[in-house]
Amino acid sequence: MPVRRFGGHRSLVSHSQSPKLSYGYTKMNIARGGYRVFSANSSAACTELAQKITERLGVELGKSVVYQESNSGETRVDVKESVRGQDIFIIQTIPRDVNTAVMELLVMAYALKTSCAKNIIGVIPYFPYSKQCKMRKRGSIVCKLLASMLAKAGLTHIITMDLHQKEIQGFFNFPVDNLRASPFLIQYIQEEIPNYRNAVIVAKSPSAAKRAQSYAERLRLGLAVIHGEAHHSESDMADGRHSPPLSRAITGHTGLELPLMMAKEKPPISVVGDVGGRIAIIVDDIIDDVEDFVAAAEILKERGAYKIYVMATHGLLSAEAPRLIEESAIDEVVVTNTVPHEVQKLQCPKIKTVDVSMILAEAIRRIHNGESMAYLFRNIAMDD
């Protein structure tokens, strides 16, 4: 038995007592390795998804206050509990006021960073500015700018869902988990659409054909693609490669003649595939301005489809979308709750919601525990 001296006195200490001396330190390390879930939104309607996620995780929503100053409109965030040494998950859904939501996320992330949080993970089901991920004329790639701002504010990881373009993940210098909503939408088709075996999956433009093909293959259904002058894909938009303007004086070699660039001309609108006497299910990632979907529904009705569904991950449903849907040939619009749209549902009963809080909660649990995320991507195709 070893002998220790304290102030000239002798003391006997057994080796069996040593673990008891370090027990308190072990408990403190376990506590330090915990996690908290916060909502970065000042709108009560936008905290609904955060509440569902925390209920599934069996934890309480972190205590914080997010608000805008009444006189200046500046965003303020007050974190009401200690986050030192913990994994912090910030859930931010994007309402109408996108810029305010972005500032709330940035300010909260920076507040948690300066409060010594171990890791700060942003849970952003619909990533804002994702449509601005390509150069347009003399514009800018705003999505890349936002990725840089989030990294600078302190985020170390992002969980999102169905990015508008998968290449957006390359804008970040930290991990991005791009979850998929397709398993939930496919389950809805199988359980809620009567006689879905008589359906055909429709892409409203050639650019959406890969996503539609992925749905069709997993449901063992046929595929149809709408093509023609009524639809304009993003790839058709000018991207600045015709600059400088043709009116500018040419100072180079006068004898140089480049081949003439022929302007694009879309053929008359047509449906590639048979939809006669079938249920048509249009799939896409975002439904915002619904004019293209309404036009597609009219064409499908003319071609003999007797029921038309629209399935999308993110239901932004801006402007007059509820009214246009209600007056159109569309029978039902199904979206997930990545974006709050309760007001639009009150205006249009055709809009239905699929809850995806389950997969977001499981992603949070796995990331905190250091588990593989592969299970959440099983049977998911690259084109989905």
The CATH number assigned to the domain holding 96 equals 3.40.50.2020
Domain boundary among 178, 213, 246: 178
Rounded (10°) angle between helices 357-369 and 48-57:
50
Instruction: With CA atoms as reference, report the closest residue to 206 among 186, 223, 226.
Output: 226
Q: Could you tell me if 202 and 119 lie in one domain?
A: no
**In a domain? residue 379:** no
DSSP secondary structure code for residue 337 in this structure: B
Say what the pTM is: 0.82
Q: Which two tokens stand for residue 103?
A: 């500032």
Domain assignment of residue 199, given as a range: 183-229+268-354
Q: Which two tokens stand for residue 232?
A: 């304009």
Q: Could you tell me if 44 and 113 lie in one domain?
A: yes
Is the pLDDT confidence value at 8 over 90? no
Q: Could you tell me if 156 and 171 lie in one domain?
A: yes
Q: Are 336 and 314 in contact (CB under 8 A)?
A: yes
Is the pLDDT confidence value at 145 over 70? yes
Q: Could you tell me if 288 and 162 lie in one domain?
A: no
Q: Which two tokens stand for residue 383?
A: 């084109």
Cα–Cα separations (whole angstroms), residue 302 to 30, 297, 307, 329, 362:
64, 9, 12, 10, 43
**In a domain? residue 374:** no
**In a domain? residue 240:** no
Q: Could you tell me if 211 and 318 lie in one domain?
A: yes
**In a domain? residue 237:** no
- 279-287 vs 307-315, strand pairing mode: parallel
**In a domain? residue 259:** no
**In a domain? residue 91:** yes
Domain boundary among 158, 178, 198: 178
Q: Could you tell me if 197 and 104 lie in one domain?
A: no
Q: Could you tell me if 108 and 57 lie in one domain?
A: yes
Q: Could you tell me if 80 and 140 lie in one domain?
A: yes
Q: Are 42 and 66 in contact (CB under 8 A)?
A: yes
Q: Could you tell me if 170 and 198 lie in one domain?
A: no
Domain boundary among 178, 199, 214: 178
Q: Could you tell me if 204 and 130 lie in one domain?
A: no
Is the pLDDT confidence value at 1 over 60? no
Is the pLDDT confidence value at 324 over 90? yes
Q: What is the pLDDT of residue 14?
A: 42
Q: Are 299 and 276 in contact (CB under 8 A)?
A: no
Number of domains forming the structure of the chain: 2
Q: Could you tell me if 170 and 223 lie in one domain?
A: no
Name the residue type at position 361: A
Cα–Cα separations (whole angstroms), residue 86 to 78, 112, 160, 212, 298:
17, 10, 21, 41, 53
In a 10 Å sphere around its CB, with 0-12 CB exposed, 13-18 middle and 19+ buried, how is residue 224 labelled? buried
Q: Are 319 and 167 in contact (CB under 8 A)?
A: no
Q: What three-state secondary structure class fits 299?
A: helix
Instruction: With CA atoms as reference, report the closest residue to 281 among 364, 193, 160.
Output: 193
Q: In whole angstroms, give the CA distance from residue 50 to residue 62.
A: 10
The four Cα atoms 227, 228, 229, 234 give a dihedral, to 10 degrees, of: 30
**In a domain? residue 250:** no
Is the pLDDT confidence value at 260 over 50? yes
**In a domain? residue 71:** yes
- 270-272 vs 199-203, strand pairing mode: unpaired
Instruction: For residue range 160-188, list pLDDT tens digits in order.
Output: 999 998 889 999 999 999 999 999 999 99
Q: Could you tell me if 40 and 151 lie in one domain?
A: yes
Instruction: Find the range with the poorest average confidence among 73-77, 209-213, 379-383.
Output: 379-383
